[in-house]
Each structure stands twice: as structure tokens, then as C-alpha cells.
Amino acid sequence: MAFLDSVFNPWLLPFLEWNSFIGILVISFVISLLVTIVYKYATNQVEMKRLKDKQKEFQDKMKSMRDNPSEMMKVQKEAMSTSFEYMKHSFKPTLITMIPVLIIFTWMVGHLAYNPIMPGEAFSLTASFKEGAVGNATLLLPVGGEFVSDVATKPVAPEVSWKVKAPEGTSEFSVEVPGSAQKKEVIVGSRLIVADQIALYQHSDIEKISIGYEKLTPLGSFSMFGWYPGWLALYIFFSLIFSIVLRKVMKLY
């Protein structure tokens, strides 16, 4: 993730920090444009047009053969063969762009899934314990950290939560129980950079430690029947629109 940050943060993060909605819009356009350009030069557009026209011919034929099912089935088989040929030609640009798009997606997940923890903001830290774990669980704060109306030590339960604050920057919290201790990194700052929400541990009475991030909602309080669209829904919507428009502008088939 650090490598991806060094590559994408300088030119994509400023858009997201300014406005996450605008940032997603810009990223969607950039990816759609690159994918469309690759599609244009990685496919034989003359052949793609021929196959597209052939598909339309088969569709028109099938409409006129509704009263002749046997002939319609023959034409339908030919149409399916043509569609398969068209898909085969389209597969090459998909293979070329798939890995770069997945890499950008990985970066977006790390920066658009949750709101960052701001300086002075309280957040929850929850430890989950293995069945049968007993004793008390103690949360050790980093330098500059503080509890928010909470206590450091609590009886072990399936889950134990603390409400805390951390200083700006990267800090480490430590959860301790008899015989086990595990650490969890937390990042506090104004940038859209967060540490992993969940850390998993093996061979320990502490199974995981999670941070109670708030989900990032680029549209703010806007909801659709109680659903608050996240970055992925907006990305898919914008990408579809941009892809359709760009293909028409570039006259691609």
C-alpha cells in the first residue's frame, strides 16, 4: 500500500481532499478515458463495425421470423456466433486494462472506504478475544493519547471497546491480557489516509483489534431510501456514463 501511495497520492489525493465527490468524478473520467483509448487501438475497428452491423442484421431478421420458429432458431445460432466473435475481439483490451484498473481500485479502497480520524476526534477501538480467554484486558495509550470517559482496564468479554483519542500522525495502541499483547496502528490527520480497519492475530487470546471508522459518504447526507451511496456506486455510475459518451465521441464499435 505504501508503494501505491507514493505513485498515486501526488496526483489523485489532492482532488479527493478538496472534495471526495469531485475526486471520484475525476478519477472515473481518467480511467474511462484510458480504457477507451486502449480499446480503440487494441481492437480492429473495421472488423468490430462489421460484426456490429451483422448483429443488427440478425436482430432485424429475427423480428421478421416470429411466425417461423425453426428458421428463427437458425438465425439465432448465427447471431450468437457473431456475438461470441465480437466478445473475443473485445477481450484483448480488457486483459490489457484489467491489472492497472485493479491497482487503482486497491488504492481507492484505502482512501475512500472511510472518513479519516481528525485531530482531537474521538473514535472506538475494539478488541475481540478467543473463546475461553479470561482475566482483564488493558489498553495502553500512545504518548499524547487519552481515554474519553473510559477506563484502561476492563474484564475480558467476547468484545471489549474503548473510546479514545490519539495525537496527530501515526500512533500505536497496545491491548494486553494475561499471556498476550497485540498492537494496532492508528493514523490521525486531515488527509484521506487511514490505517487498516481490522488487524488479525494468530496464536493469541486476542483475535483481532478494529478501529471504529465512519463510512465515507461522498454525497453527504443524501440517501436513497436509507442507502447512502459510497465511492464504488458513484464510480460505477460515472464510469458507465463516461464510457458511453467517449465511445460515441470517438465513434467506436
Q: Minimum mean pLDDT among 16-20, 30-34, 84-88, 241-245: which range?
A: 16-20
pLDDT digits (tens, 9 = 90+) for 169-222: 999 999 999 999 999 999 998 777 788 899 999 999 999 999 999 988 898 888
Q: How open is the CA angle 108-110-102, to the nearest 5 degrees? A: 45
pLDDT digits (tens, 9 = 90+) for 88-138: 888 888 899 999 999 998 888 888 889 899 999 999 999 999 999 999 999
How far is residue 240's CA from residue 29's CA, in Å, rounded to a whole number?
A: 10
The answer to whether residue 224 scores a pLDDT higher than 90 is: no
SS3 147: strand
The pLDDT of residue 249 is 94
Give the orientation angle of helix 231-249 with respect to helix 69-112, to 10 degrees. Answer: 130
Q: Report the largest interatomic distance among the alpha carbons of the chain, rounded to a whole angstrom.
A: 81
How far is residue 30's CA from residue 236's CA, in Å, rounded to a whole number?
A: 13
How far is residue 10's CA from residue 35's CA, in Å, rounded to a whole number?
A: 22
Portion of the chain with pLDDT greater than 70, in percent:
99
pLDDT digits (tens, 9 = 90+) for 51-62: 888 888 878 877
Cβ(209)–Cβ(199) under 8 Å?
A: yes
Which position has the grid cell 451511496? 229
The residue-averaged pLDDT of 33-41 equals 94
- Per domain, the residue ranges of the chain are 2-113+230-249, 123-211
